[in-house]
Structure 1
Amino acid sequence: MGGLLYSILIGAVAGWLAGKLMKGGGFGLLINIILGIVGGLVGGWLFHTLGIRLFDGVLGDLLTGVIGASVILFVAGLFKKS
């Protein structure tokens, strides 16, 4: 249960940060947080698949989540403009 709560918290912060970093601010706070949680999963999978290992601990998890959420926000933004 603690691992799930940790993942949600890190994903929420990562989504918020990614929304701040992305041009246009993303989709709003709630959607950015949800996309951050999904982005953390995507970033973790992507880095694992590519054999990339970032920092250990909270910093590495947060950086992975921000990168993954930024990718998700970028792709979602492509659909938003259509």
Structure 2
Amino acid sequence: MKHKRKLVFICNGSDCKKSGAKKLYKELKGATDEPSLRGSCKFIKTKCMDMCKTAPNIIVGDHFCKKTSVEKVLTEIKKS
């Protein structure tokens, strides 16, 4: 049986860092430690995604989240 994990790409460009990407990463790591979400996704830090005006930027699977928050990202992670 194959376990499906979502890939979550977190931009670590300078504008995203200024907009709270580091804090967002830490909060997401903590939120996905819950038993219901444990092991459901893999976080990957990236270099600049060239979407600096909409920072912080995160890609969940094939969905691009602009000016995102923890709640928005968790909603995308929970979608099948």
Structure with greater proportional helix content: 1
User: When the two structures are superposed, what TM-score results if normalisation uses the length of structure 2?
Assistant: 0.37
User: When the two structures are superposed, what TM-score results if normalisation uses the length of structure 1?
Assistant: 0.36
Structure with greater proportional strand content: 2
